[in-house]
A and B are shown apart, each in its own frame.
Chain A
């Protein structure tokens, strides 16, 4: 025992010596020691607080210096130092070479040749078959009834025990243009399969955050008019293809009297589905506005004192899609050839931190002149109607429609 104690004492001595050394070192590189490496909690928190305080002071000093410099520059009549631009996810994104440009002739030739061109050129009217997975209950059928009300000319068929390949064959014979399969898991719809016919691609989406109509507050009931379609942000090549696939589900001649709009908004690979009714209202601008706003609104006031406002009422389901795979040809999981597969591993391998690779479906819109009235809604910024960068809407036309 004694021996052990001795050794302990020796160690203790050594430890003291070490600590002395450490203190010396600490003095040398006090600023470099991280509080997280200190084991004593009290000490650690004290050091941490001190560091934090120091940082705060430094920051305040920096800000003060900057403001002073700006003020000085103003007084002297010089140019103020340039404002710093914050780094956001959007502006640190790497440029994507696959973004479609409207002057690309190959893109249009490709569009003319692809599987959807027959539907999109109105040679064929879209006719949709909706079916489910084998077992289907509660939210599944409810979702399907709402899908039926969203997509015109869609028909629900019971799945039965048929193979999907057999169903594809059947739908081809009956001249359907697409098949939608709603997959449910634990009584909750969780995947959507859209198959273009006769040889179109098969897109497999993950479906999440589904809110049905009755769960939406102040929801409206859609009419049976053909809806307008807004495809937002489908800008890359893959996004373009998905956009065209979605576009081919809907009739290409919207009935503007219905004032129904179906939106697919793509943001960072998630496709948000919304279904609205809209109405245009003219509102007089109040003269008594706050001063800050006045400065901004002076332009608007000089043109007209009446303002057209689009009001929206949400109806129909609300859900989010995420593309899992896009397969060349109709459904065939084992022998299929994929145009795009989500690979979680490889997507991140070559990603450097602080930079976000562009998502495959598209990024914020190419700055195209936007003419749709819905742009006056706060939540829509840019609208790109799918297809050949059209059909774009005239402001005047829309005003006419809203007038009658």
Chain B
């Protein structure tokens, strides 16, 4: 039975996101308080060129002097200023000149004070990037080989930036210590099932579960499995469960350390409690194309997803409601949040508090088991402050509930339709 009543959309909180697409364009999307929380494309950097297709991107999201690294299909890594799109320098790979850049594409990129790149064939490289001296060689880059065979499909760096995670088609998830470039852990494939069928390893995405804890890793596989690895416990997955029928294409962690967002090849996006492997809920919308990237906003309760249906979608994580969607014309490969975006500083903070309180209130009414305990404690003080407002809103809700007999809702609907037509 399709939903017959419309849910009003609260709109996006003020935020700024960058998307990268198949034609090498970088688009800046901003949502502002003034526009009613509708996200819009503000800027477009670069010219459409298929050879400049963005394969990976990473942003160094600091307050002063942020940097953005973009790996392109033609083997060039560009380092940009994420505020105005100015190209500050380019890093091209000279290490293997014999191979065409299309054959050995860059799959992973991480930018902090150093730049970690990883290629399909398994060549990982750490290089210091210093803007002060524009000379190419500022310290010899560390290079090593991650895998002997197979294709690397992703690389991730943990919060403390001392461990990196690699995996791919035919490559088990493995963890490397970045300081001395040694492999510290590899996963072990699960045993053959009761029919004796062994599924070949094919990891498509992975993420560290917590920001400060490098020991827990969530990985998604091509045969629609999501696995939790604990490297301090065992080499086989601790928790493993299936999600739908198409390959998992993107995995992103939440700040609370146990919620994970997964997106798959047919456009299903869901949040999962990884401790139990239980599905918390799906993000329902008209999302119909494969999800390539999910990003969690570090402060606001918002995630963004993008992929082959060329829409950037922004969702509320509490209500799992679609807040805004922007059509960006090309297949998108990556989305990144710019956390330092402030429209009016005070405004944002106030809005944040309000929004959080609201979302929590809604969740409490909806289902209490779902909500992590951590957050409630944090925001309880805010809730008290917002108490009066909440009461009002709850009264309104009751009013709506009373009307929910079938005929009345129908009438209401007609009214809505009439209003719309008018």
Contact = CB atoms under 8 A, between A and B. Distances in A.
Contacts of A349: 2-3, 284-286
Nearest to B9: A350
B2 to A, nearest CB: 4
Given A110-B48, A328-B308, A353-B413, A340 B265 contact: no
B50 interface: yes
B266 interface: yes
B94 to A, nearest CB: 27
Interface string B18-42: 0000110100000000000000000
Interface string A334-359: 11111111110111111111110000
B70 interface: no
B324 interface: no
A107 B6 contact: no
A42 interface: no
Contacts of B202: 335
Given A109-B50, A351-B2, A339 B223 contact: no
B22 A113 contact: yes
Contacts of B420: 352, 354-355
B39 to A, nearest CB: 13
B97 interface: no
Given A328-B308, A338-B289, A352 B48 contact: no
Interface stretch (A74-82, A97-105, A248-256, A289-297): A97-105
Nearest to B416: A352
A338 B331 CA distance: 11
A338 B264 CA distance: 9
A346 B285 contact: yes
Contacts of B247: 334-337
B329 A106 contact: yes
Interface residues of B, number: 41
A351 B4 CA distance: 8
Nearest to B5: A352
B151 interface: no
A87 interface: yes
B267 A338 contact: yes
Nearest to A357: B286
A397 to B, nearest CB: 33
Interface residues of A, number: 36
B400 interface: no
B417 interface: yes
Given A113-B22, A349-B2, A341 B288 contact: yes
A337 B25 CA distance: 22
Interface string A278-315: 00000000000000000000000000000000000000
Nearest to B53: A113
Given A97-B327, A113-B50, A334 B285 contact: no
Which of A110, A336, A347: most chain B Cβ within 10 A?
A: A110
A331 B47 CA distance: 32
A181 to B, nearest CB: 20
B103 to A, nearest CB: 14
Contacts of A113: 22-23, 50
Nearest to A342: B288
B329 A237 contact: yes
Contacts of B267: 338, 341, 343
B308 A337 contact: yes
Given A104-B329, A109-B23, A353 B4 contact: yes
26 contacts: A105-B48, A109-B47, A109-B49, A110-B23, A110-B48, A110-B329, A113-B22, A334-B223, A336-B246, A336-B247, A337-B265, A337-B290, A337-B308, A338-B267, A338-B288, A338-B290, A341-B289, A345-B2, A349-B2, A349-B284, A349-B285, A352-B413, A353-B4, A354-B417, A354-B420, A355-B420
Given A113-B50, A334-B247, A338-B266, 13 more contacts: A109-B23, A110-B22, A113-B22, A334-B245, A335-B222, A335-B223, A336-B265, A338-B308, A340-B289, A340-B309, A349-B3, A350-B322, A352-B420
Interface of A: 87, 92, 97-98, 104-107, 109-110, 112-113, 237, 328, 334-343, 345-355, 360
